[in-house]
Protein backbone atom coordinates (compact mmCIF):
# COMPACT_ATOMS: atom_id res chain seq x y z
CA UNK A 1 0.00 0.00 0.00
CA UNK A 2 2.86 2.33 0.86
CA UNK A 3 4.48 1.60 -2.49
CA UNK A 4 1.25 2.43 -4.29
CA UNK A 5 0.92 5.74 -2.43
CA UNK A 6 4.54 6.56 -3.17
CA UNK A 7 3.97 5.92 -6.88
CA UNK A 8 0.95 8.21 -6.89
CA UNK A 9 2.92 10.99 -5.19
CA UNK A 10 5.91 10.53 -7.49
CA UNK A 11 3.76 10.45 -10.62
CA UNK A 12 2.05 13.67 -9.52
CA UNK A 13 5.42 15.31 -8.92
CA UNK A 14 6.61 14.05 -12.32
CA UNK A 15 3.61 15.64 -14.03
CA UNK A 16 4.21 18.92 -12.18
CA UNK A 17 7.92 18.90 -13.01
CA UNK A 18 7.25 18.19 -16.68
CA UNK A 19 4.79 21.09 -16.80
CA UNK A 20 7.34 23.47 -15.28
CA UNK A 21 10.14 22.30 -17.60
CA UNK A 22 7.91 22.58 -20.67
CA UNK A 23 6.66 26.07 -19.86
CA UNK A 24 9.29 27.70 -22.09
CA UNK A 25 8.37 25.58 -25.13
CA UNK A 26 6.33 27.89 -27.41
CA UNK A 27 4.61 25.29 -29.60
CA UNK A 28 1.61 23.73 -27.83
CA UNK A 29 1.90 20.35 -29.57
CA UNK A 30 5.60 20.04 -28.77
CA UNK A 31 4.83 20.93 -25.14
CA UNK A 32 2.22 18.18 -24.95
CA UNK A 33 4.58 15.68 -26.58
CA UNK A 34 7.31 16.62 -24.09
CA UNK A 35 4.99 16.19 -21.09
CA UNK A 36 3.72 12.82 -22.34
CA UNK A 37 7.24 11.48 -23.02
CA UNK A 38 8.62 12.81 -19.73
CA UNK A 39 5.81 11.41 -17.57
CA UNK A 40 5.74 8.11 -19.49
CA UNK A 41 9.49 7.71 -18.96
CA UNK A 42 9.30 8.29 -15.21
CA UNK A 43 6.24 6.07 -14.86
CA UNK A 44 8.03 3.28 -16.74
CA UNK A 45 10.82 3.41 -14.17
CA UNK A 46 8.48 3.56 -11.19
CA UNK A 47 6.25 0.73 -12.38
CA UNK A 48 9.04 -1.57 -13.55
CA UNK A 49 8.65 -5.04 -11.93
CA UNK A 50 11.49 -7.38 -11.07
CA UNK A 51 12.77 -9.83 -13.66
CA UNK A 52 13.18 -9.69 -17.41
CA UNK A 53 10.32 -7.27 -18.02
CA UNK A 54 12.14 -4.77 -15.83
CA UNK A 55 14.79 -4.34 -18.52
CA UNK A 56 12.09 -3.69 -21.12
CA UNK A 57 10.56 -1.05 -18.87
CA UNK A 58 13.95 0.56 -18.37
CA UNK A 59 14.54 0.59 -22.12
CA UNK A 60 11.14 2.23 -22.65
CA UNK A 61 11.98 4.77 -19.95
CA UNK A 62 15.31 5.62 -21.57
CA UNK A 63 13.65 6.07 -24.97
CA UNK A 64 10.90 8.30 -23.53
CA UNK A 65 13.32 10.44 -21.52
CA UNK A 66 15.66 10.78 -24.51
CA UNK A 67 12.71 11.85 -26.67
CA UNK A 68 11.61 14.45 -24.10
CA UNK A 69 15.17 15.77 -23.84
CA UNK A 70 15.47 16.10 -27.62
CA UNK A 71 12.10 17.87 -27.83
CA UNK A 72 13.15 20.36 -25.16
CA UNK A 73 16.59 21.05 -26.63
CA UNK A 74 15.39 21.32 -30.23
CA UNK A 75 12.59 23.70 -29.22
CA UNK A 76 14.88 26.01 -27.25
CA UNK A 77 17.49 26.03 -30.02
CA UNK A 78 14.90 26.65 -32.74
CA UNK A 79 13.47 29.60 -30.82
CA UNK A 80 16.86 31.05 -29.80
CA UNK A 81 16.28 30.55 -26.08
CA UNK A 82 19.66 30.60 -24.33
CA UNK A 83 20.49 28.36 -21.36
CA UNK A 84 20.55 31.42 -19.10
CA UNK A 85 17.15 32.58 -20.34
CA UNK A 86 15.72 29.12 -19.79
CA UNK A 87 17.05 28.86 -16.22
CA UNK A 88 15.72 32.33 -15.44
CA UNK A 89 12.38 31.29 -16.88
CA UNK A 90 12.25 28.27 -14.53
CA UNK A 91 13.38 30.43 -11.61
CA UNK A 92 10.63 32.90 -12.38
CA UNK A 93 8.06 30.12 -12.06
CA UNK A 94 8.95 29.84 -8.36
CA UNK A 95 10.09 33.37 -7.54
CA UNK A 96 7.84 36.05 -8.97
CA UNK A 97 6.83 39.42 -7.58
CA UNK A 98 3.24 40.62 -7.75
CA UNK A 99 4.24 43.20 -10.39
CA UNK A 100 5.90 40.50 -12.49
CA UNK A 101 2.83 38.30 -12.27
CA UNK A 102 0.52 41.13 -13.31
CA UNK A 103 2.81 42.15 -16.17
CA UNK A 104 3.06 38.59 -17.43
CA UNK A 105 -0.71 38.04 -17.15
CA UNK A 106 -1.40 41.26 -19.04
CA UNK A 107 1.03 40.45 -21.85
CA UNK A 108 -0.19 36.87 -22.05
CA UNK A 109 -3.83 37.90 -22.40
CA UNK A 110 -2.97 40.60 -24.94
CA UNK A 111 -0.94 38.18 -27.06
CA UNK A 112 -3.74 35.59 -26.89
CA UNK A 113 -6.17 38.27 -28.08
CA UNK A 114 -3.85 39.16 -30.97
CA UNK A 115 -3.56 35.48 -31.84
CA UNK A 116 -7.36 35.22 -32.00
CA UNK A 117 -7.42 38.22 -34.36
CA UNK A 118 -4.88 36.51 -36.61
CA UNK A 119 -6.98 33.33 -36.52
CA UNK A 120 -9.94 35.37 -37.81
CA UNK A 121 -7.76 36.81 -40.55
CA UNK A 122 -6.59 33.31 -41.48
CA UNK A 123 -10.18 32.10 -41.74
CA UNK A 124 -11.16 35.05 -43.95
CA UNK A 125 -8.05 34.92 -46.13
CA UNK A 126 -7.82 31.13 -46.53
CA UNK A 127 -8.14 31.36 -50.32
CA UNK A 128 -6.03 34.50 -50.67
CA UNK A 129 -2.34 34.86 -51.59
CA UNK A 130 -1.68 36.19 -48.06
CA UNK A 131 -2.09 32.74 -46.50
CA UNK A 132 1.65 32.04 -46.25
CA UNK A 133 2.27 35.42 -44.61
CA UNK A 134 -0.47 34.68 -42.09
CA UNK A 135 0.94 31.25 -41.29
CA UNK A 136 4.37 32.75 -40.61
CA UNK A 137 2.81 35.49 -38.49
CA UNK A 138 0.76 32.97 -36.54
CA UNK A 139 3.87 30.88 -35.81
CA UNK A 140 5.73 33.91 -34.47
CA UNK A 141 2.82 34.96 -32.27
CA UNK A 142 2.50 31.42 -30.89
CA UNK A 143 6.14 31.65 -29.83
CA UNK A 144 5.69 35.07 -28.27
CA UNK A 145 2.64 34.01 -26.26
CA UNK A 146 4.92 31.79 -24.21
CA UNK A 147 8.15 33.79 -24.58
CA UNK A 148 6.85 37.18 -23.51
CA UNK A 149 8.33 36.75 -20.00
CA UNK A 150 11.68 35.64 -21.43
CA UNK A 151 12.37 38.37 -23.96
CA UNK A 152 12.14 42.14 -23.62
CA UNK A 153 9.84 41.91 -26.60
CA UNK A 154 8.80 45.50 -27.24
CA UNK A 155 11.75 47.41 -25.79
CA UNK A 156 14.26 45.37 -27.81
CA UNK A 157 12.90 47.11 -30.91
CA UNK A 158 13.97 50.56 -29.72
CA UNK A 159 15.90 52.43 -32.41
CA UNK A 160 16.45 56.19 -32.28
CA UNK A 161 17.12 56.36 -36.02
CA UNK A 162 13.72 54.81 -36.67
CA UNK A 163 12.11 57.22 -34.19
CA UNK A 164 13.67 60.09 -36.16
CA UNK A 165 12.34 58.64 -39.43
CA UNK A 166 8.85 58.41 -37.94
CA UNK A 167 9.08 62.00 -36.73
CA UNK A 168 10.02 63.03 -40.27
CA UNK A 169 6.83 61.35 -41.53
CA UNK A 170 4.77 62.98 -38.79
CA UNK A 171 6.06 66.44 -39.72
CA UNK A 172 5.35 66.19 -43.45
CA UNK A 173 3.29 69.01 -44.91
CA UNK A 174 0.10 66.96 -45.36
CA UNK A 175 0.34 65.17 -42.02
CA UNK A 176 -2.78 65.21 -39.79
CA UNK A 177 -0.39 65.16 -36.82
CA UNK A 178 0.40 68.83 -37.47
CA UNK A 179 -2.94 69.85 -35.93
CA UNK A 180 -1.93 70.27 -32.30
CA UNK A 181 -3.02 69.51 -29.69
CA UNK A 182 -4.71 66.31 -30.88
CA UNK A 183 -7.64 64.88 -28.97
CA UNK A 184 -8.17 61.13 -28.70
CA UNK A 185 -10.27 60.83 -31.88
CA UNK A 186 -7.86 62.99 -33.89
CA UNK A 187 -4.91 60.89 -32.70
CA UNK A 188 -6.52 57.66 -33.88
CA UNK A 189 -7.40 59.20 -37.25
CA UNK A 190 -3.89 60.63 -37.64
CA UNK A 191 -2.29 57.27 -36.91
CA UNK A 192 -4.62 55.23 -39.12
CA UNK A 193 -4.42 57.61 -42.07
CA UNK A 194 -0.74 58.56 -41.90
CA UNK A 195 1.37 55.96 -40.05
CA UNK A 196 -0.64 52.77 -40.00
CA UNK A 197 0.62 51.18 -43.24
CA UNK A 198 4.27 52.18 -42.77
CA UNK A 199 6.73 49.43 -41.71
CA UNK A 200 7.85 50.76 -38.34
CA UNK A 201 8.09 49.12 -34.92
CA UNK A 202 5.22 49.91 -32.57
CA UNK A 203 7.53 50.81 -29.70
CA UNK A 204 9.27 53.47 -31.80
CA UNK A 205 5.97 54.82 -33.12
CA UNK A 206 4.81 55.43 -29.55
CA UNK A 207 8.14 57.05 -28.67
CA UNK A 208 7.77 59.40 -31.65
CA UNK A 209 4.15 60.25 -30.85
CA UNK A 210 5.02 60.99 -27.23
CA UNK A 211 7.90 63.24 -28.30
CA UNK A 212 5.48 65.59 -30.11
CA UNK A 213 3.28 65.87 -27.03
CA UNK A 214 0.69 63.11 -27.52
CA UNK A 215 -0.16 61.62 -24.12
CA UNK A 216 -0.33 57.97 -25.16
CA UNK A 217 -0.91 56.75 -21.62
CA UNK A 218 -3.99 58.90 -21.02
CA UNK A 219 -5.42 57.85 -24.41
CA UNK A 220 -4.77 54.17 -23.67
CA UNK A 221 -2.38 53.87 -26.62
CA UNK A 222 0.14 51.08 -26.29
CA UNK A 223 1.63 48.54 -28.69
CA UNK A 224 -1.44 46.35 -28.47
CA UNK A 225 -3.76 49.24 -29.27
CA UNK A 226 -1.75 50.02 -32.42
CA UNK A 227 -1.98 46.38 -33.48
CA UNK A 228 -5.77 46.53 -33.17
CA UNK A 229 -5.89 49.75 -35.19
CA UNK A 230 -3.74 48.19 -37.90
CA UNK A 231 -5.94 45.11 -38.03
CA UNK A 232 -9.00 47.32 -38.45
CA UNK A 233 -7.34 49.18 -41.32
CA UNK A 234 -6.23 45.94 -42.95
CA UNK A 235 -9.80 44.62 -42.89
CA UNK A 236 -11.12 47.88 -44.37
CA UNK A 237 -8.74 47.60 -47.33
CA UNK A 238 -9.57 43.93 -47.72
CA UNK A 239 -13.32 44.63 -47.73
CA UNK A 240 -12.82 47.35 -50.35
CA UNK A 241 -10.88 44.95 -52.54
CA UNK A 242 -13.51 42.22 -52.15
CA UNK A 243 -16.25 44.65 -53.17
CA UNK A 244 -14.54 45.12 -56.55
CA UNK A 245 -14.26 41.45 -57.48
CA UNK A 246 -17.57 41.36 -59.34
CA UNK A 247 -16.32 44.19 -61.58
CA UNK A 248 -12.91 42.68 -62.34
CA UNK A 249 -13.95 41.09 -65.64
CA UNK A 250 -15.49 44.31 -66.97
CA UNK A 251 -12.65 46.40 -65.50
CA UNK A 252 -14.39 49.80 -65.61
CA UNK A 253 -12.31 52.97 -65.28
CA UNK A 254 -12.94 55.55 -62.55
CA UNK A 255 -12.23 59.21 -62.95
CA UNK A 256 -12.54 59.40 -59.18
CA UNK A 257 -12.40 56.16 -57.20
CA UNK A 258 -13.30 56.66 -53.55
CA UNK A 259 -14.47 54.43 -50.73
CA UNK A 260 -15.50 55.75 -47.31
CA UNK A 261 -13.93 53.84 -44.43
CA UNK A 262 -17.19 53.80 -42.46
CA UNK A 263 -18.72 51.63 -45.19
CA UNK A 264 -15.98 48.99 -45.10
CA UNK A 265 -15.28 48.53 -41.40
CA UNK A 266 -14.67 45.08 -39.98
CA UNK A 267 -17.86 43.54 -38.60
CA UNK A 268 -17.40 40.11 -37.07
CA UNK A 269 -19.56 38.15 -34.69
CA UNK A 270 -17.03 38.62 -31.88
CA UNK A 271 -15.48 41.91 -32.94
CA UNK A 272 -16.62 45.10 -34.63
CA UNK A 273 -14.77 48.29 -35.48
CA UNK A 274 -16.91 50.96 -33.80
CA UNK A 275 -14.70 53.93 -34.69
CA UNK A 276 -16.39 56.78 -36.59
CA UNK A 277 -14.17 57.71 -39.54
CA UNK A 278 -16.61 60.47 -40.56
CA UNK A 279 -15.68 61.63 -44.10
CA UNK A 280 -12.27 59.96 -44.26
CA UNK A 281 -11.94 57.87 -47.40
CA UNK A 282 -9.60 55.92 -49.66
CA UNK A 283 -9.28 57.81 -52.92
CA UNK A 284 -7.62 57.35 -56.32
CA UNK A 285 -7.96 59.24 -59.60
CA UNK A 286 -8.15 57.97 -63.18
CA UNK A 287 -7.72 54.28 -62.41
CA UNK A 288 -9.39 51.12 -63.64
CA UNK A 289 -10.76 48.38 -61.38
CA UNK A 290 -7.77 46.05 -61.66
CA UNK A 291 -5.35 48.87 -60.85
CA UNK A 292 -7.47 49.85 -57.84
CA UNK A 293 -7.44 46.27 -56.58
CA UNK A 294 -3.66 46.13 -57.06
CA UNK A 295 -3.20 49.31 -55.00
CA UNK A 296 -5.41 47.92 -52.25
CA UNK A 297 -3.49 44.66 -52.37
CA UNK A 298 -0.23 46.57 -51.90
CA UNK A 299 -1.65 48.20 -48.78
CA UNK A 300 -2.77 44.82 -47.44
CA UNK A 301 0.69 43.35 -48.01
CA UNK A 302 2.28 46.34 -46.26
CA UNK A 303 0.45 45.36 -43.07
CA UNK A 304 1.75 41.82 -43.26
CA UNK A 305 5.27 43.22 -43.67
CA UNK A 306 4.72 45.48 -40.68
CA UNK A 307 3.39 42.61 -38.56
CA UNK A 308 6.34 40.49 -39.65
CA UNK A 309 8.98 42.93 -38.39
CA UNK A 310 7.06 43.62 -35.17
CA UNK A 311 6.38 40.01 -34.23
CA UNK A 312 9.80 38.61 -35.03
CA UNK A 313 11.02 37.11 -31.73
CA UNK A 314 14.11 38.67 -30.21
CA UNK A 315 17.35 36.69 -30.33
CA UNK A 316 19.64 36.03 -27.36
CA UNK A 317 18.37 38.91 -25.27
CA UNK A 318 18.83 39.07 -21.49
CA UNK A 319 15.88 38.03 -19.38
CA UNK A 320 13.58 40.80 -18.25
CA UNK A 321 9.95 41.67 -17.97
CA UNK A 322 8.69 44.67 -19.86
CA UNK A 323 5.75 47.00 -19.45
CA UNK A 324 3.78 48.41 -22.34
CA UNK A 325 4.58 51.97 -21.29
CA UNK A 326 7.94 53.54 -20.74
Ranges of beta strands (E only) in the chain are: 253-260, 281-288
Question: 250 or 41: whose pLDDT is higher?
Answer: 250
**Separation CA 209–CA 214 (nearest Å):** 6
Q: Which candidate, 325, 318, 323, places its Cα nearest to that of 150?
A: 318
The arithmetic mean of pLDDT across residues 259-281, rounded, is 85
The angle formed by the CA atoms of residues 116, 118 and 121, to the nearest 5 degrees, is: 115
Q: Is the pLDDT of residue 70 over 90?
A: no
256 pLDDT higher than 60: yes
Average pLDDT, the chain: 75
In sign, the C-alpha dihedral spanning 45, 49, 53, 54 is positive
Q: Is a pLDDT exceeding 90 seen at residue 81? A: no
Report the C-alpha gap between 268 and 127 in whole angstroms: 18
Mean pLDDT, residues 305-312 = 82
Instruction: Decide which of 236 and 115 is more confident.
Output: 236
Q: 181 preceded by cis ω (within 30°)?
A: yes
Distances (CA, A) of 3 to 49, 56, 200: 12, 21, 61
Over residues 127-145, the mean pLDDT reads 66
- pLDDT of 223 reads 84
pLDDT over threshold 50, residue 285: yes
Return d(Cα 71, Cα 229) in angstroms, integer.
37
pLDDT at 200: 94
Q: Is the sign of the CA dihedral 272, 273, 276, 279 positive or negative? A: negative
pLDDT at 82: 59
Q: Is the pLDDT of residue 202 over 50?
A: yes
Out of 14-28, 80-94, 124-138, 232-246, the most confident range is 232-246
What lies within 8 Å, CB to CB, of 134 at 6+ separation is 118, 121, 122, 125, 304
Closest CA to 204 of 153, 150, 171, 155: 155
User: What is the SS3 assignment for 281?
Assistant: strand
Per the CB < 8 A criterion, the answer to whether 85 and 319 are in contact is yes
pLDDT at res. 161: 94
Q: What is the mean pLDDT of residues 156-167?
A: 89
Query: What is the distance between the alpha carbons of residues 316 and 239, in angstroms, rounded to a whole number?
Result: 40
| Gap between the Cα atoms of 90 and 149, Å rounded | 11
pLDDT at 312: 72
Identify whether the C-beta of residue 190 lies closer than 8 Å to the C-beta of residue 177.
yes
Q: Give the Cα separation of 84 and 112 in Å (integer).
A: 26
Closest CA to 153 of 272, 315, 5, 306: 315
* Mean pLDDT calculated for residue range 25-34: 70
- Looking at residue 237, its pLDDT comes to 92
Asked which of 72-86, 148-162, 219-233 is least confident by mean pLDDT, the reply is 72-86
Give the model's confidence band at 308: pLDDT under 50 very low, under 70 low, under 90 confident, else very high: confident
Domain residue ranges of the chain, discontinuous segments joined by +: 2-78, 98-310
80-89, 108-117, 210-219: least confidently modelled range: 80-89
Please report which confidence band the pLDDT of residue 247 belongs to, taking 50, 70 and 90 as the band edges: very high
Q: Over 90: is that where the pLDDT of 284 sits?
A: yes
Q: What pLDDT, on the 0 to 100 scale, is given for residue 316?
A: 42
Question: What pLDDT shows up at residue 287?
Answer: 95
pLDDT at 325: 29
pLDDT at 148 over 70: no
- Whole-number pLDDT of residue 151: 44
Are 293 and 247 in contact by the 8 Å Cβ rule? The answer is: no
What is the structure's pLDDT at 317? 41
Q: How far apart are CA 321 and CA 84, in angstroms?
A: 15
Instruction: Please tell me the distance from the alpha carbon of residue 22 to that of residue 112, in angstroms, as a whole number.
Output: 19
Q: How confident is the model at residue 321 (pLDDT cuts 50, 70, 90)?
A: very low
The pLDDT assigned to 83 comes to 62
Cα gap 39→61, rounded to integer Å: 9
Phi-psi region of 201 (alpha: psi -120 to 50; beta: other; left: phi over 0): beta
| CA nearest neighbour of 284 among 323, 242, 314, 240 | 240
Per-residue pLDDT of 169-185, as tens digits, reads 999 888 889 887 889 99
Amino acid sequence: MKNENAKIVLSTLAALLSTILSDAIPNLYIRLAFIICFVAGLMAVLSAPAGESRHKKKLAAVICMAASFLLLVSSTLTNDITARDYMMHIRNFFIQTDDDALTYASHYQQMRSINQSIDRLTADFKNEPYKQKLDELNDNIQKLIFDIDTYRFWEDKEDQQEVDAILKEIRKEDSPFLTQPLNEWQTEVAYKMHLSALPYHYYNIIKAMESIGIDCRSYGIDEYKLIIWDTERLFAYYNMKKSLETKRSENPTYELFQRFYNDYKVRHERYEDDFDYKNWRFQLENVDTISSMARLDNYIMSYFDKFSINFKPAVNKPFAHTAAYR
